[in-house]
Structure 1
Amino acid sequence: MRQKNSKIIAPIILLFICFTNCKHKNEKPEIINEVLETTTEAIVVGANQTENYLHLLKGKRIALAANNTSVIFKNNDQTSHTHLVDSLKSLDINIVRIFAPEHGLRGKIDAGEVIKSEIDEQTGIPVVSLYGTNDNSNSEEKFKPSNAHLSDLDLVIFDIQDVGARFYTYLSTLHYVMEACAEKNIPVIVLDRPNPNGHYVDGPVVEEKFRSFVGLHPVPIVYGMTIGEYAKMINGEKWLKNGIQCDLTVVPLKNYTHNSSYTLPLRPSPNLPNDKSINLYPSLCLFEGTNVNCGRGTDMQFQTFGSPDLPKEKYNFSFTPKPNFGAKHPKNMDKECYGLDLSEMEKLDSLNFKWLIDAYNSTANKTNFFRERSINLLAGTDKLKNQIEKGFSLKEIKATWQDDLSNFKNTRQKYLIYP
């Protein structure tokens, strides 16, 4: 996907590099470079600002947590780019290994599919999987760099595009990279990127008993922070094991606010092909915990939903999932699914679970609608499933989130870099 980046009108922008050092755990992050300006310039991602981090890499043995979105753009409209690995290698930076998250280094592997450690054919650099098995365990060993993978490193760079939904697993990958590095006293640099769903905060907050790789932290489904801001929150709230803190540097965005409109120049994962899918993803992903397909196996991923069990008299759109890029075995494969086409929906600025509620209420055989473990882990609570089954309205459900959301917003405020 190569679409032109919107020009951004941003009022007062604070541009800085944040250092959080484990030796000074009670200090506020130091502001290294503060710039106040009014601008109509395009957003500049952290990776492009080599002047702010290249000097920290010289002579160091580096690992890079990266995927297909880890790029340096060649022009303001972001229509051409080079991968960060290639750019750093060309500058004689010593990249020892690459850590690959879900979907792999090149972003082509299905959701939940095993990522194997290998040698990257394009660079010759070893790639270590941080999404290593497809079993149902929640063991951190399959997600966290091992001591052996860190023993010869001086520094780790994290540069992966997030989409602002808690169950998007790159947040958990960030957590385990920071934790492993903190345990070995290895600094981490996060190259910040915009959050395309950064304009609102909404949803239930994860309860302790439902912590998992799709929800490690007590945050709502939509948290309204960039990946750099989120890294600061992980550190500041001492969410890493035993309350340790990471030596963290965030290279911030230029010309960005949380209300900035931003089109991702590269597909962040196989089933998020465009702006509409990314905006609908936080609201539709809970269908993954049901018998309803969210467009996987079609060319309208996360822009539609449907099931053979929904009544075609009420749901006027139909599709038949087939194996395709990002979905080798889509739910309800080869079965006609009845649902709704949401591709022309206006941009959401809050979660919409009305589609989920209506689908449940419209399904005749409700005992097979929810996949209990999956829906509860995605929601971060079992209350949502129970509320839907008891006939709560969307308004009534959202009312039960408000105290937790208010507390989270107070926590969030401490770590914001951008207005």
Structure 2
Amino acid sequence: MTTLAGQDSGLISARDVTAAVTGIGVVAPGGVGTDTWWASVLRGHNAIAPLTRFDASGYPVRLAGEVSGFTDEEHVPGRLLPQTDRVTRLALAAAAEALAAARLDAAHLPDYAVGVVTANAAGGFAFGQRELQALWNRGSRHVSAYQSFAWFYAANSGQISIRHALRGPSGVVVSEQAGGLDAIAQARRQLRRGVQAVVTGGADSTLCPWGWTAHLAAGGLSTAEDPDTAYLPFDADARGHVVGEGGALFVLEDGDAARARGAAVLGTVEGCAATFDPPPGAGRPRLLAAAELALADAGITPADVDVVFADAAGERSADRAEAQALATLFGPFGVPVTAPKSMTGRLLSGGSAVDAAAALLALRDQVIPPTAGTRRVADDCPVDLVTGAARPARLRTALVLARGRGGFNAATVLRAAR
């Protein structure tokens, strides 16, 4: 037995359990569905393009990573369309794929055996904007009753649990780009507390004028007009990031239970950690500490890591800080590093979840996906960045890193299925 710090009740008892990934669902720029998206990533397809979801001609930033080819009616029942934002529809599609891939049917399990823990940083922005417009233009009687919950961060978890009758412990994590990894960590805690399986991961969609205004106010966006040079992680010419939409969801199971029902295990979550940066000027960022804690949680050393999926901010000082953290941990150019999010943009909570999906598939296929765009790695970023084309490699263990706006850091260690 091990112990975990409970939020309200001190130390609580927890089982030693292997957290096994048995299903993956991805809806992201470059592909709807895991196989389609992964094929796009491996060929280095850049899905960043001019915005089409709204007229962005009057804005200083006009590029984004959009999920194209997603027809709502093909993935969401008609009765749910009036009560869901686009992000919830994307999350429902990813959850359905993950559950189908895992061949997990909650109807054949005890009532409270399966929970849902998702990450979402912005809520239903487009839904909220539409209802605010109705309020001011037509009056309160024209505001949908569904506005009471469709905008909320927890709507994804709630709609997934209702749709699939998942009555186990559920929740939502709000930590921006770090959220996808933080949700996985929370799901693993639930497994240790006795839950058999958890649907987990993250998704966001903020490609509407209201969301765009928030991104512009926050800063850090690339103003480049060429999609191929807009987002250049670790490049000497990095000029900021591009926003995208989408995410990934997983079925995380008690490894023994998964094997007992004959499920195919895609990989395991071996270590998780989260840290929070001090106020600006009060100390150094703590991404390195998060990575070290995740390795310690996994019981491994830096020498055991075969590939790093970087946070890859695309901003010079942030890239420099991450590269120096990696050099401190692994030595300069000590481990292959990649940032497939360079093809999608940063997806807020969906970003680190999609990186986790890429890491699991890389471990499965023994190949490191490339970083698109970046051609000239900056001299002050001593990392072995995989660029140009996918790199075949012998992979056993991957480290996924994420930093959320506001000081969130997260790190997750994933291991190939035995």
> Which range, TM-score by smaller chain?
under 0.3
Which is higher, the Rg of structure 1 or of structure 2? 1
Higher strand fraction: Structure 1 or Structure 2?
Answer: 2
Asked which structure has the greater RCO (Cα within 8 Å, sep 6+), the reply is: 2
